[in-house]
Structure formats: structure tokens, C-alpha cells
Structure 1
Amino acid sequence: MPQSKALLSEYDVIIIGAGASGLMCALTAGKRGRNVLVLDHANKIGKKIIISGGGRCNFTNMYTEPANYLSGNAHFCKSALSRYTQWDFQALVDKYQVAWHEKTLGQLFCDDRSQQIVDLLVSECRDAGVTIRTKTKIEQIKCQQHGEAPVYQLNTTLSEFVCQSLVIATGGLSFPTMGATGFGYEVAERFGHELIPVRPALVPFTMPKKWLDHFAELSGVSAEVIASCNGQSFRENLLITHRGVSGPAILQVSSYWNEGDKVSINWLPGMAIYDWLKESQEQRPRAATYTIISQHMTKRLAQALCQHGKLRLMTESGHKTMNHYSHAELEQLAEALEEWELIPSGTEGYKKAEVTLGGVSTDKVSSKTFESRLQSNLFFIGEVLDVTGHLGGFNFQWAWASGHCAGQYV
């Protein structure tokens, strides 16, 4: 390698980004005997890990499989997910005796604090001889050919560093207040990689003023629903906010939504709605519509639904009694409750998005090693790539898997 300013500035591997994928890559490479340096511009490591899961970190999902991920290449994630599984990371958590529990749908959370996950990663890095430096901004990356392989020189606000392998683990654009930037995308483009257009994902929807005038007073009210958009459906909670709608069902479906698309809401999931309405008509003929509907949601929400859109006319603002519906009208009411339309005006953007959809195209990245096919010894891992998981620990599992697999080859 060429002479640098100081011997300590030379490393086998430099990883830019001290998040989930970067730390996993570092500890894996360090255990192989590689001399590893992790650099991050933030003032502390693992910031997104710490805030995740309401401070308890949904660190993986028991039911992780490739179908839980969106990517321009649906096959890209398969190799890494099979080589470092959710059970592998669970075993690491158990090694440090971190207590955890399954919340719902296979989501594994710490019983205590997210910091425990950061601490175990740091401990593993320390045992592997990894050096971690925070508050270090990358000012320039130079690539020089040295024999058959390139060597990377990094000018930073801390010092000048030289390495054989350079790993980009900078994440996406979500949570800019936590220091997220587009630095990784800039590096990828500089070395000839295509970017799949990025946008916020797993993000709340904003709704038009007319809708808010009617529903904003229900801010904080939630209900279990099935939310559907563009052929994808998710059964979880919907939460009404002062700006629109959120909750797991909405965050999930937001990854499939494009501007102008309609989102369909089934307010009574798992029910044969027409049969239930017919039975209610027979058993409680004089009950008001909103009274019947409120058996499966809050009374306030039932009233608001009946006073909005086509349900307002169909139900006489909820006051129409069950004995006044014909069979055809009951069918229409059932359909309206099963396919209630939302047309969002937009999303809350990166400041509220869990992840970034899109990123570095996987077409020119090895799914085995995560090395660039265009530039030797340059690696991309984690969220910076065009691989986005569903809500529920899947994005962390992608970070662990991609970081571990790249760490075997850097």
C-alpha cells in the first residue's frame, strides 16, 4: 500500500456508517483478523437503533423471508437472508442475556432498552479489535490503483486514512434530524452505480383539509383494519392523527402507494359483513346503523364514518334503523364498510419515515459478497441498497444479514 501520513491511518477495511449494518460488518470482518475502522459523522453510534421500536428495538422478525422485501430485483436478498437468519441474530442477543419478547406477528423486541442492542454490537466489535470513530466527516474519497487492486484514501475531519476495502453503510434519508444524508448515494453514483429513485417508506399519510375537517377531532382513535393498495393488503391497526392517518397498517401499505393512488380500508376485517348486517337486522331491527357498527369499533369512529361520504347518505348519517334497509342496500352498506376509500394528499416525508424506498440498484452489486461489480473492493450494505423491508423487524434483519455476509469478504 502507498505510504500514508501515519502507520495507524492504514486499515484493511474502512466502513462508513456506524449503524446496524456497518457494525455487523465490522465485527464479522474483525473476527476474521481484518484490521477494521468504522467512521460516522454523528456524535454517537447506532442512533436509529436506539430510537427504534419505541426505544425497545424491534431487532428482527421470526417470520423473515424474501417476500417481506421490496426491491427492483426480488431475488437479490435471498442469499444473504438464508446465510444469516433471524435465528442467528437471536442467538447473538441471547449470548448477551438480553431479555426479549414477541410482540405480534413474529416481531421480537427487547424487554428493556434498545441501547442493549447497540451495547452488544460494540462489545463484539471491541472483542474483534475494531476501531470506531464518531464525529468524523468524510471530506474526500480518492481511489488509486495499487497492483491488481485499488486502494482507497479518505480525507476526513479527523485524519487521513487508507484502506484496501471500503464499505458504504450510510443508510437512507429517513430521520434527517438523526443525521441521515445522501452521502452513500453520492459515492455510488461517482463509481458508476445507478440509483433507483428514492422516497419515504413506512410513513404516515397526510389527508386533504376536507377530510381533516371531519376526522381530525378523532386524533388518537385507532381500529384494526385491512389496508390495501396496488394489490398489497395488511391487517393491523390504523391510527387517526391530526394530519391524517398512521398506524402499522398504514405504514405498511405506504410502501406500495404512489401519489394519487387510492387506499382501500376494510373496517371490519375477518367478518362476512353482509351476513353480520343481515343478522343484526333480524335481531335488532330498530337499532340505528352507527349503534350496530359501534359494536366493532369506538362509537365516535362509527358515528364519524356514517357521517362522511357516501355512507352519510346511505345511513342517513348513521341514524337509519336496520329495519329500513332492503337486501340490496345492506349489500351496498357491506361493500362500503369493506372497501372504504382513502385518497391521501401525501406523506409525512422523511422526517417521519421508518426507511427509504429505492437506493443503489442491486444490478451491479454481488448478492453473495455485496461488492460492486463496477469497482473492486467497494461494498454496499444495508438500507443504502434498493432493498426495503416491511414493518416489523425486517429492515434490521436485512442490516444484520447484509453486514454479516459482506464482512466475510471485505
Structure 2
Amino acid sequence: MTQSVFNFCAGPAMLPASVMAQAKQEFLDWQGQGVSVMEMSHRSAPYIEMAAQAEKDLRDLMSIPDNYKVLFLHGGGRGQFSGVPMNISAANDTADYVLSGQWSQKALEEGQKYLNTQIAADVSVVEGKVFLPTQQQLNLNPDAAFVHYCPNETIEGVEFSYIPETGDVPLVADMSSTILSRPIDVSKFGIIYAGAQKNIGPSGLSVVIVRDDLVGKARKETPAILDYELAVKHDSMYNTPPTYAWYLAGLVFKWLKAQGGLSAIEKVNQHKADTLYRFMDQSDFYRNQVDSTCRSWMNVPFQLADDALNVKFLEQSDAAGLKALKGHRIVGGMRASIYNAMPLAGVEALVSFMADFEKRYG
């Protein structure tokens, strides 16, 4: 399927073209039911079968151990900023937060409403380059209720190259922007959560992978919609779930399996990122301010040599079918988000445009 438009939006992000085509084909009549999947009961046998298959496919893709529950919930990643502390800590507990950018900062600010918090580490800037803290730089409390971090920050374009070692303290990861981009060892985490709108499906859905021993500890004031135990007991259907988003997520999981799983998609993602970074590194016209040890595979921010050219770059790239390249207002410049659904052809088209733009304005 040939694409003429490539969507580099950080989220809601593009979905695989074949998934969108299948969803379009099934939109009015899903599996011969005569109705759309979004307008049928989530408690009907066909829908429950679809939901169960989506969970199985996700478990297969991520090799999720049997002692972990998989939940499909409302609220996106932000919902779990509250959900995590309310489910696995008491008000007088302390939690460690590793800061790496805006999303880990937002998680910290929300966590401060529910328990004591400590900043275990923060980013550093050395000679204009952004660095993430190393394992040795993490100041961890062995009595903490949990350690929270964001493996990939979409705004700053930084990404941890390692999984923090936290001993017996549960490690909690906001993987909204990096889940399913490569294989990970789920057993190293107490909780993994992710808003769907980057690598899973459309916005409105969040996935929570939680170890069994962390279920059933929610505070009595925890809203029912955030209570992991209730979600487990009702197969994520304590209330009406985001049914269409769940269906689309299931299609994405099947698409990932058809690509060869996470080991295969990892190679594609690394190739895409290397292609874009390699081009920028040899150019004096474009620059990326993240140190090579912690550059994101998923979100690539960059600046032009002359900010006065930003408007021209955005206008002309949009006209060329390269959409949503404007950088976040906090960091400015440009940002190319190249999640799983972005084909290599999209990155190659971007590099070609950037090279041509540099020739004309450099």
C-alpha cells in the first residue's frame, strides 16, 4: 500500500495503514454481525471473544508472565499518574520519582497529591547536550513504596538505555510512547502502563500490566474506575470500556505479530532512528541536543540553524505530505515522531526533504 502522506504527530499518532483499511472495511458490519463493533454490547459473546484475543496477542507479543494481570482501562497515561499511588501505596508512604522530562514531572506532581515523594535523579545538561541519569546516579530509597520513571520522553526526545535496578521496590514505568517498540523483560517491573495513542491504538484507552502481588492494595477512597482489583474481577469491564479503541488495539497487536513480533519491529525502529540521526549528525544545518547515549528511537526533536526558517520548513514539509513536524512549544524547533506505524519510507522521505531544504536555504 503506497502512502503519499506521512504523519509524524507525537500523539494521537498514525496507525498502520493496513489496520486502518481493515477497520474501514469492517466499520459498518463487523464479522457479519450487521452492526459496527462500536455499537454492540461489550458483554456480548463476540465482543468478549475479541477482547480476550486482544489480551492474548498482547501477552504473546510481550511474553507477559502468568503472574501479571493485563487491564484495558480508561484515562490514558495521566489516569495512572493517580491510579498507581492510589493502588499500591498509603498516604504516609514515600515514592521515588526519576525525572527525565515533562511527563515524569507531571507524574510527580500528581503523585504529590497522594503520598510523600522524593526526586531520585534528574536530567543534566553538559556543554549543550542533554544526559539522562545513570544507574549509579539514582538516589533510591530502599523503603519506598515504588520507583516511577518514564523510559521515553516524547517532548525532549530522551530515552533510557537501561532498566533501573530497584531491588525489592516495585518499578513502575510509564511506557506510553515506547511500549511494543522492542522486546522488554516484563518481570523487571511491578507495573507498566501506557496510553494507547502512540504505539497501541487510538486515544481513550490505557493498558496496565500489573504484577499479582500489587493487586488488592487500593486505598478505600480509590475511585472504582481506577481500582485494579475491580478491573481484574470484571475483566476490565466493570463499566463500559472504550470498545472501539480496544478493537483497534487488537488489530494493531495482530499487525505486529504479522511483522514478526517485537524483535522484528525493533530492527525496523532502530534503522529508522539511525537513518534520521545519521543525517542530522553530518549536517551543520540541523542539530539534535540529546546526547547519543540517550536519544529516543520514537521521538526525534531537532532545530534548524536559523529559527527564522521554521515557518518555511513547516509550510513546505506539510505541502510535501510530511505532517505534524512542529516541535513542542516547550522545546521549539521540529519533532519527528516515528512510532511503530511509521514506515521506513516515511523517514526516508523526511530525510530527502530535509536535505533538499538545506540545499536551498543553507
Name the TM-score class by shorter chain.
under 0.3
TM-score, length-normalised on structure 1?
Answer: 0.21
Q: Which has the higher strand share?
A: 1
- Larger Rg computed on CA atoms: 1
TM-score, length-normalised on structure 2?
Answer: 0.23
